[in-house]
A and B are shown apart, each in its own frame.
Chain A
């Protein structure tokens, strides 16, 4: 049950500092899109505005046909994974994941048995079987991240939003989780947006990438589009490292390709 997300001319100013200057973005249902940019480019503000955690000064967010401004946070049904995970530190893993189900109004709340089976299913999905009785402080960074993801998925979200999902992890765990997240996205098919400042992460994981620069979207496209035709000098310099590596890889494989013909 995923929906397209449409962002229309979103504007947000903090004090005198403009964080978003008229951002528009279309994300199709089931798509995996990266919001990429240096710090201060407005990518996290955009994500939080889509979630409803920031009130935009102007503009519109649409989930399918629904105007998000008419929805309360509860009605938005957003799965949000925070940068530092924001797990409820005094609750066990089980209760963290069950939180969204238990917070529902009585009429739509599943029975305790229903909640239990749902939580155990989700733990299995994120490969944390048997860890339900741990406290967050007793988990590794990668495990906490997956608990946060399971907690977000528990409410059957319309849209999944991830803020720097791998930012707090060491390089090796990060690589594993990237691959795992891509597989999970393919299986569950949620419309997913994630924020990152890491070019490699965006290019490896996302179907399309939106590059932000000073509160504006500089370019949206597939990895190949952006590498072939960077829209602005900023995009060109921002992805320079990746472009150079791509070129090198092509150079190195060239003789090999020729030889095999």
Chain B
């Protein structure tokens, strides 16, 4: 309303318009900062304050709990499998989509986006329907003594599904904007397909790849919904950190819950910090690969 009122006078009386924009600027920036503090910063600080409510001693004690340790181990294990897997498959899919023409390309693009658009709970449920005891493949799996649901394989599968788009979504637009002429040049200069991929294609997208991997990792460690459905919440066996936090919280073990939460938040902060440091350290190189020439 105020915006549309100002559109015409702006052209005719620049001074008045200027003073108004300055005021608007302050208000807008103020609102944004207020919002960020209230929605993002305060909760984050609260996590650490709550974790330290009874001092460092209690905080470290709660990390000594075997179930907590098991949850931390499981989360790291799942991320260690899901992230490299999604990085490799995401890179291959982006390469195919950005550099080649083929039938069904749009279908593949839609499939890659699918995990973003459906609720994680449904992603988990799909696996239960497939691999669960009452599921399609359940009897066969039971006959062969393979446990997927309520076990680590199910948790890994659910995490892979939910975090699949992160790497591909980072890479596809960049690869598309870079085009294929550098690859063509490499091939004409006598390079093999692999040589071209490792010396030309991959170095050109390594920063986007790293960013995608960091995002994928953050989500893989933090995923709750899909994992919750397939995990079965068996303490010490199939509880990941986010699931463990919920259990501790529901048992009124607030210090324990916030201790694990602070560790998870700390991992996320460390990820962001690592990304910022790398960006700062290699600013020139990033600019060189991002620019079209």
B45 to chain A minimum Cβ distance, whole angstroms, is: 40
Q: Is B189 an interface residue (CB 8 A)?
A: yes
Q: How far is the CA of A87 from the CA of B186 in the complex (A)?
A: 9
Q: Is the CB of A87 within 8 A of B293?
A: yes
Closest-by-CB residue of B relative to A100 is: B189
B107 to chain A minimum Cβ distance, whole angstroms, is: 19
Contacting A at CB under 8 A, from B193-224, are 195, 199-200, 203-204
Q: Is the CB of A80 within 8 A of B185?
A: yes
- On chain A, the residues within 8 Å of B188 by CB distance are 51-53, 73, 76, 78-80
Q: Is B291 an interface residue (CB 8 A)?
A: yes
Q: Is B191 an interface residue (CB 8 A)?
A: yes
Q: How far is the CA of A135 from the CA of B191 in the complex (A)?
A: 21
- On chain B, the residues within 8 Å of A154 by CB distance are 189
Q: Is the CB of B293 within 8 A of A155?
A: no
- Known interface pairs A73-B187, A99-B189, A103-B192. Does A86 touch B291 (Cβ–Cβ under 8 Å)? no
- Known interface pairs A84-B293, A137-B291. Does A89 touch B182 (Cβ–Cβ under 8 Å)? yes
Closest-by-CB residue of B relative to A108 is: B190
Closest-by-CB residue of A relative to B202 is: A90
- On chain A, the residues within 8 Å of B185 by CB distance are 80, 82, 86-88, 151
Q: Is the CB of B200 within 8 A of A100?
A: no
Q: Is the CB of B184 within 8 A of A104?
A: no
Binds A, one of B146-154, B162-170, B242-250, B281-289: B281-289
Q: Is the CB of B289 within 8 A of A104?
A: no
Q: How far is the CA of A86 from the CA of B185 in the complex (A)?
A: 7
- On chain B, the residues within 8 Å of A136 by CB distance are 288, 293
- Known interface pairs A89-B204, A137-B288. Does A99 touch B186 (Cβ–Cβ under 8 Å)? yes
| Number of chain B residues close to chain A: CB under 8 A | 23
Q: Is the CB of A90 within 8 A of B288?
A: yes
Q: Is A77 an interface residue (CB 8 A)?
A: yes
- On chain B, the residues within 8 Å of A52 by CB distance are 188
Q: Is the CB of B181 within 8 A of A99?
A: no
A186 to chain B minimum Cβ distance, whole angstroms, is: 24
- On chain B, the residues within 8 Å of A79 by CB distance are 188
B248 to chain A minimum Cβ distance, whole angstroms, is: 47
Q: How far is the CA of A104 from the CA of B186 in the complex (A)?
A: 11
Q: How far is the CA of A76 from the CA of B285 in the complex (A)?
A: 33
Q: How far is the CA of A87 from the CA of B178 in the complex (A)?
A: 11
Q: Is the CB of B184 within 8 A of A103?
A: no
Closest-by-CB residue of A relative to B207 is: A90
- On chain A, the residues within 8 Å of B189 by CB distance are 99-100, 103, 151-152, 154-155
Closest-by-CB residue of A relative to B206 is: A90
Closest-by-CB residue of A relative to B200 is: A88
A116 to chain B minimum Cβ distance, whole angstroms, is: 17
Closest-by-CB residue of B relative to A86 is: B181
Q: Is A175 an interface residue (CB 8 A)?
A: no
Q: Is A43 an interface residue (CB 8 A)?
A: no
- Known interface pairs A100-B190, A103-B191, A137-B288. Does A86 touch B184 (Cβ–Cβ under 8 Å)? yes
Q: How far is the CA of A99 from the CA of B185 in the complex (A)?
A: 10
Q: Is A244 an interface residue (CB 8 A)?
A: no
Q: Is the CB of A99 within 8 A of B191?
A: yes
A76, A84, A99 pick with most chain B CB within 10 angstroms: A99
Q: How far is the CA of A260 from the CA of B74 in the complex (A)?
A: 97
Q: Is A74 an interface residue (CB 8 A)?
A: yes
- On chain A, the residues within 8 Å of B192 by CB distance are 74, 103
Closest-by-CB residue of B relative to A137 is: B288
Q: Is the CB of B190 within 8 A of A74?
A: yes
- On chain B, the residues within 8 Å of A82 by CB distance are 181, 184-185
Q: Is the CB of A89 within 8 A of B190?
A: no
A258 to chain B minimum Cβ distance, whole angstroms, is: 53
* Binary CB contact string for chain A from 73 to 111 against chain B (1 if under 8 A, 0 otherwise): 110111110101111111000000001100110000000
Closest 4 CB pairs of A and B: A100-B189, A86-B181, A103-B191, A74-B190
Q: List 7 A-B contacts (CB under 8 A).
A: A73-B187, A74-B190, A82-B181, A86-B182, A89-B291, A100-B189, A137-B293
